A and B are shown apart, each in its own frame.
Chain A
Amino acid sequence: MSLVNFTSREITCKLVYYGPGRSGKTTNLHYVYGRVPESRRGRMVSLATQTDRTLFFDFLPLDLGVISGFTTRFQLYTVPGQVYYDATRKLVLQGADGVVFVADSQARRLDDNVESLQNLQVNLLQQGVDVRQFPVVLQYNKQDLPRDLILTPDELDEALNFRNVKSFSADAVRGTGVFETLKGISELVLKRLAAGTPA
């Protein structure tokens, strides 16, 4: 997918929230949804099971209006975190312009985080994406939990952020860090335009 289309004067960004199950990807999207004026957002499509787990994916289209003559649209997706939904993840990841990796800050979920991150790398590589160049930010969610249950952002950086990308602490339920993360990934994705390389 070409990010900027000079002919039709459109900018379309597909951002995917990735991470282990129950790390808070859908919560991120719900929070964004809640903050966007009604005229700017499309219907949020959420395919969830009885127990509120993402079965297929969440989709939130955002219309940011005309910027510098370009109709700008963001499409936010989440992937199901559970290990066995890998096919869906691959599907959603196709044509993504950027990925927010939502990590669960709880110490006992560290292995899940690592596994999911590895899964992200594998899936990106399979799609022929150069993971070193691809826009990715990390979000350390659930930082509001009691200190003794979670790892600090520094510890998580140590464990997960080996590519030294931007990372954000967040409490997606209350919205802390949600927009900061979104801003972070948007900026990365949009700045790839400068290099003239369509994502």
Chain B
Amino acid sequence: MSIPLNPRYRFETYVVGAANRLAATAAKAVAESPGSVYNPLFIYAGSGLGKTHLLMGIGHAALAINPQLRCEYLTLDEFVEAFNAAIGAGQGEAYRKRYAEVDLLLVDDVQFLTHRREMQAELLRLTNSMLSTGRQIVLSSDRQPGEIEALDERLIQRFAGGLVIDIAAPDFETRVAILRRQAEERRASFSPDVLETVAAIGASSVRELIGALNRLIALQAVSETAIDAAQARAILGRGGDEEPPAKAEAKPAPARAGGGGTEAPSDEFGAFLSDVVSTVVQQVEAWRSRVGEAILRWEGEGYRTTRLSALLEEEAPSDPDMALQEFSKDIERLRLLQAEAVELDPALAGAAVFRDPDNVEEARLQVERARQGTLPPPAPAPIWQLADFVEGPGSLLALKAARSVIAEPGRVYNPLVIVGGSGVGKTHLLHGIGNELAKAPGGVVACLSAQDLIDDLIKAIDKNRVNWWRARYRRITALLLDDIHLIAGKERTQEELFWLFNLLHQATRQMVFTCSVPLAQLTGIETRLLTRLEGGLVVELPLPEREARVAIVERLLREKVGEADRELADYLAGRPVDSVRALQGLVQRVLNAADSEQVRPTAALARPLLEGAPAAPVRRTSSGRTSGVLTPAASLRSREKVVWDWPDIGDRLIEDLR
């Protein structure tokens, strides 16, 4: 909001009399359904008759009905000033846009439009745009639109198109009611005839009326007894039958006025007191304007000022200046956090979380996340557990090394490099170690293939967030990198890995690498990295021996069909394979065959399948064509009933055409 609505100016505190009933009713109607009844609503009245009160009342009531409503109150002067400032700063469009988003615009004192051609044009444009989009505009002035000097005819017409309504000076009864309400608000009590006396002094505006009442309140605070009507008349100096209390000037104090204590209280002190009262009230209330200014400033910079708005609603906050200071501090913290966040991740620039000083903690967490990398680094795959890794004499060394690493990560073998041919279980072992390491409290294990690391880095470079990428990996407690040989020739990745390696090594965080060729045969990898890899423990993971292979097959069979045929396992493990992966392929073939024939997988089934020509293609060959018809699952039980190979469609088409 441009200017905070004065919390005292509500419909509830607006005294309605004959003179302003129409205006008040129209205002309420507008507040209840902005933009649909009287649009624009133009209220005019002499100074001090309640225009501003009514305008702010509309704002309060409309916001009470719909808190999401964007409501803005401003005086024309501020409108002009802001406009000039915006034009001066070359931000004219931003200024227009700001008002284009307001649902309810309350403009006070439009009589100052006189002779301001460009502002009239601006207001006309704004009014048109608000009217055409059904948003409410309410204006107030001290005279009718037609009487505002040199006002654009088109504006007059626009205003006349809505409702132009006036507020007259309140009648006697209304004046008494206003005084009564005012006195109640100020917690002062007067007898009714005093208020009537004040109401009868012929004040030309409500403001003047309240001013008179204020004088009485101040004086009542000084005097011991309640003020009566005659005194009130005297004090207000409006022709009463009694003289006002003796003035000090008329009655000079005797020399050495020390004895003056016995004299009747002079109104000299009363006048002084009422002066002090008004100064104190002004100054004590001055915090409101300071808070208002702060709201304007921070909102202008795009920060949420809910806390300050809430402060304004309070009658007497314990320490507004402290609250303002706190608020500024929070904003400063947000700025620092935002700067850091942007450094880590440019995508965070302008994130809403850095605009809410009431939620610095959230912003801090956001930065924390950014610092750690918004995404955790790739974790080890849960399907590869170390417990499932079948142990054999050949893998004993590697497994032992793995277990020491798990028992004391970073301390015994750092890095651990597992070398082995393709498909011997390096990845399984690596992820198995990763899963174990991740069980440690606070463990953040990055387990990924070198190729993924390279892709990730390229993506980060592309999006200009290498810092973010680095931060993401620097917080990990263990780095497990599969297929390290893939970084050959990738200079940037090697460079980053080199730094990461050093960092993790110094922090005694475990690193495990796998490599499909012995390190000595690696080419295209910088020596500084290579020597570091060799500086740990390099273990070889050979193809499992026959016994281990039997165990692997048995486990696979148990997994797939629930039982393991010992003979089948023995047979399959005896087949010449060069990797565990190939062995798994064999098992799968046998299982497929057994499935299609609906028999249990046995060695008898496997033997012709693996040694002779394949009885039936277990898988669809690439040259095969399908009908494209999806058969129901049940019919698939009998594979013979499905036509897997169709003649060439070209031939069929030619046949059909003939």
Interface of A toward B, CB cutoff 8 Å = 4, 6-7, 9, 11, 27, 30-40, 64-65, 67-70, 72, 74, 173-176, 179, 182-183, 186-187, 190-191, 193-194, 196
Contact = CB atoms under 8 A, between A and B. Distances in A.
B41 to A, nearest CB: 35
Contact of B222 (A27, A40, A176, A182): A40
Given A67-B281, A174-B252, A179 B260 contact: no
Interface stretch (B69-77, B270-278, B422-430): B270-278
Contacts of A193: 283-284, 286
B318 interface: yes
A98 to B, nearest CB: 13
B255 A173 contact: yes
Contacts of B258: 30, 33-34
Given A182-B272, A183-B272, A193-B284, A34 B249 contact: no
A74 B281 CA distance: 16
A191 B283 contact: yes
Interface in B442-496: none
B248 interface: yes
B559 interface: no
Contact of A186 (B249, B271, B279, B321): B279
29 contacts: A6-B317, A6-B318, A6-B320, A9-B316, A30-B258, A31-B257, A33-B258, A34-B253, A34-B261, A35-B269, A36-B269, A37-B222, A37-B224, A64-B273, A65-B222, A65-B273, A67-B281, A67-B284, A72-B276, A72-B280, A173-B253, A173-B255, A174-B253, A175-B248, A179-B271, A186-B272, A186-B275, A186-B279, A187-B275
Nearest to A196: B321
Indicate the member of A9, A35, A37 with the most B CB atoms within 10 Å: A35
Given A39-B224, A176-B252, A191-B283, 14 more contacts: A31-B257, A31-B260, A35-B266, A37-B222, A67-B280, A68-B280, A68-B316, A72-B276, A74-B276, A173-B256, A174-B253, A176-B249, A179-B248, A194-B282
B256 A30 contact: yes
Nearest to A41: B261
A65 to B, nearest CB: 5
A9 B318 CA distance: 8
Given A31-B253, A67-B277, A179 B283 contact: no
Given A31-B260, A186-B275, A37 B280 contact: no
A33 B261 contact: yes
A36 B276 CA distance: 14
A168 to B, nearest CB: 13
The 10 closest A-B pairs by CB, nearest first: A34-B260, A193-B283, A37-B265, A174-B252, A34-B257, A6-B319, A35-B269, A194-B286, A67-B280, A190-B279
B257 A194 contact: no
B435 to A, nearest CB: 58
Given A7-B319, A67-B280, A191-B283, A179 B268 contact: yes
A35 B275 contact: no
A179 B252 contact: no
Nearest to A192: B283
A178 to B, nearest CB: 8
Contacts of B253: 31, 34-35, 173-175
Contacts of A183: 272, 275-276
Contacts of B255: 173
B238 interface: no
B274 to A, nearest CB: 10
Nearest to B278: A67
Nearest to B275: A183
Contacts of A191: 279, 283
A75 B262 CA distance: 21
A70 B257 CA distance: 31
Contacts, number: 119
Contacts of A179: 248, 268-269, 271-272
Contacts of A65: 221-222, 273
A69 B542 CA distance: 87
Nearest to B223: A37
Nearest to A28: B257
B604 to A, nearest CB: 94
Interface in B305-341: 316-322
B263 interface: yes
Interface in B242-259: 248-249, 252-253, 255-259
B207 interface: no
A196 B656 CA distance: 97
Contacts of A32: 269
B215 to A, nearest CB: 15
A191 B278 CA distance: 11
B252 A175 contact: yes
B290 A190 contact: no
A145 to B, nearest CB: 14
B285 interface: yes
Contacts of B285: 68
A6 B248 CA distance: 35
B284 A70 contact: yes
A170 to B, nearest CB: 13
Contacts of B266: 35
Interface string B192-224: 000000000000000000000000000001111
Indicate the member of B256, B283, B317 with the most A CB atoms within 10 Å: B283
Contact of B318 (A7, A34, A36): A7
B319 A190 contact: no
A187 B495 CA distance: 71
A190 B276 contact: yes
B286 A30 contact: no
Contacts of B260: 30-31, 33-35
A7 B145 CA distance: 49
B621 to A, nearest CB: 86
Contacts of B318: 6-7
Contacts of B281: 67-68
A11 B276 CA distance: 11
Contacts of A9: 316
Nearest to A9: B316
Given A35-B248, A196-B321, A70 B280 contact: yes
A38 B262 CA distance: 8
Contacts of B283: 4, 190-191, 193-194
B279 A187 contact: yes
Contacts of A39: 224
Given A175-B248, A194-B283, A34 B276 contact: no
A144 to B, nearest CB: 10
A191 B286 CA distance: 9
Contacts of A175: 248, 252-253, 257, 268
Indicate the member of B255, B257, B318 with the most A CB atoms within 10 Å: B257
Nearest to B218: A67
Contacts of A27: 256-257
